[in-house]
Structure 1
Amino acid sequence: MKDFNFSKMEPILQGWSADKKFLVEDHIGNKYFLRISSINKYDSKKANFELMRQTSALGVPMCEPIEFGICQDGCYSLQSWIDGVDLESEIIALSNPDQYAYGMEAGSLLKKIHSIPAPNDFEKWENRFSRKIDKKIRGYHDCPIKFDGSELMIQYINAHRHLLEGRPQCYQHGDYHVGNMMLNRTGQLIIIDFDRDDFGDPWEEFNRIVWSAQQSHFFACGMIDGYFSASAPHVFWDLLALYIASNTLSSIPWAIPFGMKEIDIMKNQAAEILGWYDGMKNTIPTWYMNCKKH
């Protein structure tokens, strides 16, 4: 499929990716999701497409990968189109039990995704993530904008680095939160946007739960309970606090090119996270403890 012969190509402008995205329709009315990437991303995009196929084969409801190849503008992937609504915009209108139930489903689906192992020759996780931590701390120290409580996060990270040792690695969605989920017309939860996929510690995947918890404590709580099918071990909470703290540090330098609006969002988020963790003194966030009381 080097030349596209769709009867309709409607640009999709949401998201942060540099890829070109389209809702496309063929001559008999079938809809698809088309993503076009730079040709220099061919190898990574092809690998992403094949891993999406593996994920779909596990029964994860998602945009089904249909075709991958080269086109005039680069490389492309064609996927099934999801006719539905963004969960992020719908979640608050749902009852607390329904929010929790969708979180449970999201957690169990994530467990399926994590059943795909990382390659045997992958570098040890403690080495990979320690370099990321060093880079994020340096980036924050070099950044002209600071937030109150950042040193508490840095102290916590350095005191808990040892928890990275011996962590297993698996396939990761890479951006797993309520903003990358949809409900189809029957109300089924659909996982979308595997564009940031990677291999790493399965528990690191929960670092984006910040965005989910800001939308719905019950969904975020359900996601953890659904993943573990029982109580999460205490070391999970300790590691999650490390992953969230390191992400929070890097969010400030990341936001600067986008202007004060994004900077303020990230500073407010940092303050909220420090509140959840009582200044990094308690590693089970308050939203989870409050949710379990209901």
Structure 2
Amino acid sequence: MAADFKDIQPINKGMSSDKKYFVTAKNGEHFLLRLAEYREFDRKKAEYELIRKLSQLNIPMPSAIDFGVCNKNANVYTLLSWIDGEEAEITIPKLSKEKQYELGKESGRILRKIHSLNSPQNISDWETRYFSTMDERLAAFRSEGIKFAENEIILDYIDTNRHLLRNRPQCYHHGDYHMGNLILSKSGQLFVIDWHTVDFENYGDPWYEFNRIGIEYPTFASGQIDGYFDNNVPEEFWKLLAFYLSASAITSIVWSKYFAPERLTSILELNQNVLKWFNNMTNTKPTWYTPIK
């Protein structure tokens, strides 16, 4: 495989265990090469096939080029087309509020298209699947999390609104849909990258995917919501957004404590922000939501 490339440059970004490379073919074309350990073969093959399937929905994303094993079967490789551009989280701050909002709307429309891929028919209901994981994380916070003055307000909101997850539809998830995984190409088009995150087997309530929404840029985030719902946001969405954001924030404390202590201060701050956005969980439409008419 390497014989087809004239230049291979490592990419030292992201939290994935994959090794990533920016490669240049002999004909001058650019690609993204990902290497994983061979024990990941089945998961990586399923991921590659899913990318091929999603690309048929005309979702702007890297194209699947090749898949296989290399290095005497020590590694699995995935070769994808390279998207030449800049991450949205770098580009967005440089743009006007109006342009931020329009790109946010486009990201919402793309997300809605991703969610058009249905979940497997034999999958368990979302309420059961979600709480089988989240109840353990909530219990971990109660037993070993770093407490803060208003943590019971968030916990009470979660406990009293568990019913919101009952009979929720399920679909395919990107898994990590945020501005760091959106590329604005040189032609001004948004592309979605990094399809390797697995959370709830990448299937679940479509609205759960908003738990990574880029709130640091509220105009973009507002556009994403409006684009997803075509400017007709249902009231039920706000309740679930408050639920998913608060549950994600408070359960991230224990994760950060053990696996990313350098992020602990920012995650504790996030919990305080959640309380501000939702007025101590009494107003489910967040204060940062600022649509541009």
TM-score, normalisation: structure 1: 0.94
Which deviates the most, 71-80 or 256-265? 256-265
Q: Give the secondary-structure state (helix, strand or coil) at the position aligned to 1:68.
A: strand
* Shift, 1:143, TM fit: 2.3
Amino acid at match of 2:182: M
* Residues 100, 219 of structure 2: 8 Å contact kept: yes
Matches within 5 A, 1:223-234: 223-234=224-235
Amino acid at match of 2:187: T
* Shift, 1:293, TM fit: 7.2
Matches within 5 A, 1:1-294: 1=1, 5-72=4-71, 73-197=74-198, 198-209=202-213, 212-214=214-216, 216-258=217-259, 260-288=261-289, 291-292=290-291
Show CA shifts across 1:14-73 (max 9, x none): 111111010011112111001111212211111111111121111111111111111224
* Residues 11, 20 of structure 2: 8 Å contact kept: yes
* Residues 147, 270 of structure 1: 8 Å contact kept: no
Amino acid at match of 1:203: W
* Shift, 1:125, TM fit: 0.7
* Shift, 1:136, TM fit: 1.4
Q: Give the secondary-structure state (helix, strand or coil) at the position aligned to 2:183.
A: strand
Amino acid at match of 1:90: T
Change in CA separation of 1:118 and 1:95 when aligned onto 2, cut-off 3 Å? same
Amino acid at match of 1:213: I
Show CA shifts across 1:203-246 (max 9, x none): 1011111xx111x1111001001001132111111111111111
* Shift, 1:130, TM fit: 1.4
* Shift, 1:144, TM fit: 4.6
* Shift, 1:142, TM fit: 2.6
Change in CA separation of 1:127 and 1:144 when aligned onto 2, cut-off 3 Å? closer
Q: Give the secondary-structure state (helix, strand or coil) at the position aligned to 2:215.
A: helix
Q: Percent identity?
A: 41
Q: Give the secondary-structure state (helix, strand or coil) at the position aligned to 1:292.
A: coil
* Residues 101, 292 of structure 2: 8 Å contact kept: no
* Shift, 1:5, TM fit: 4.1
* Residues 98, 292 of structure 2: 8 Å contact kept: no
What is the distance in 1 between the residues matched to 2:219 and 2:43? 35
What is the distance in 2 between the residues matched to 1:251 and 1:186? 37
What is the distance in 2 between the residues matched to 1:208 and 1:129? 16
Q: Give the secondary-structure state (helix, strand or coil) at the position aligned to 2:68.
A: strand
Amino acid at match of 1:157: I
**5+ long unaligned stretches in structure 1:** none
**5+ long unaligned stretches in structure 2:** none
Q: Give the secondary-structure state (helix, strand or coil) at the position aligned to 2:291.
A: helix
* Shift, 1:132, TM fit: 1.9
Amino acid at match of 2:64: P
* Residues 136, 249 of structure 1: 8 Å contact kept: no
Amino acid at match of 1:139: A
* Residues 145, 253 of structure 2: 8 Å contact kept: no
